[in-house]
Structure formats: C-alpha cells, structure tokens
Amino acid sequence: GQNIDQPTEMTATEGAIVQINCTYQTSGFNGLFWYQQHAGEAPTFLSYNVLDGLEEKGRFSSFLSRSKGYSYLLLKELQMKDSASYLCAVSDSNYQLIWGAGTKLIIKP
C-alpha cells in the first residue's frame, strides 16, 4: 500500500528553528509537496521537490532524498503565525496526490 508518515504534533519556540520530517512509500514518484493548513482553513502551497536536495524559499526550506523516501520542511525564525498543520503529499505514478495526515505545529512565546 501507499503510505505517508509524519509526526502528529510538534512544539517549538518563537524565533527558533523546527524541522518537520516526512517519510513515504508510494507506487512511483512524481514529486513531493508541502502545504500549510491553518485551523479551519484550506491548505496553501509551500513547496515542491522532485529532485534530491534542498530548496530554499525565504524562511522555509524543503529537502528531498528519493533514495531514502524522505523529506523535511525546515522553518526558521519561527513566528506565532506559523502555528498550523503542515501536510506532506507525494504525487505517485498515476499523478495522484497521496496525502499525509499532517503535523500540527504549536509555537510558544
């Protein structure tokens, strides 16, 4: 079967750095997405990785290792508004998105 694993919840301090991990087992791979979802709202796109390595976009970076079936989202200089769920999703061989359940990130002052 196809599976995406992420930690259920993480806590971090305002101004700090946090890394959210995602491991996946899918039938084929056509890229990995990270989305941010605030409570009661729709997901919004953060990043897309299809090649190995690190993609940096402001305070957010995303890393991919296809051989390990592993990605992480790195958030720097955490702000209170970063409190949200972060969803990892993989595009499989049929270009269907397989979604993780999300990691709820709690930021404390």
Partner 1 sequence: DAMVIQNPRYQVTQFGKPVTLSCSQTLNHNVMYWYQQKSSQAPKLLFHYYDKDFNNEADTPDNFQSRRPNTSFCFLDIRSPGLGDAAMYLCATSKSRDGSYEQYFGPGTRLTVT
Is 53 or 95 the residue whose CB approaches partner 1 more closely?
Answer: 95
Nearest to 23 by CA among 86, 66, 84, 80: 66
**Amino acid in the structure at residue 30:** N
Considering the rule CB under 8 A, would residue 53 count as an interface residue with partner 1? no
Using CB under 8 A as the binding rule, whether residue 66 contacts partner 1 is answered as no
Does residue 31 belong to the site contacting partner 1 (CB under 8 A)?
yes
In single-letter form, the type of residue at position 97 comes to L
User: Which C-beta is closer to partner 1: that of 58 or that of 109?
Assistant: 58
Regarding 18 and contact with partner 1 (CB under 8 A), the answer is no
- Does 96 bind partner 1 (CB under 8 A)? Our answer is yes
Among 5, 21, 23, 97, binds partner 1 (CB under 8 A): 97
Q: What is the 3-class SS of 13-54, one letter each residue? A: ECCCCEEEEEEEECCCCCCEEEEEECCCCCCEEEEEECCCEE
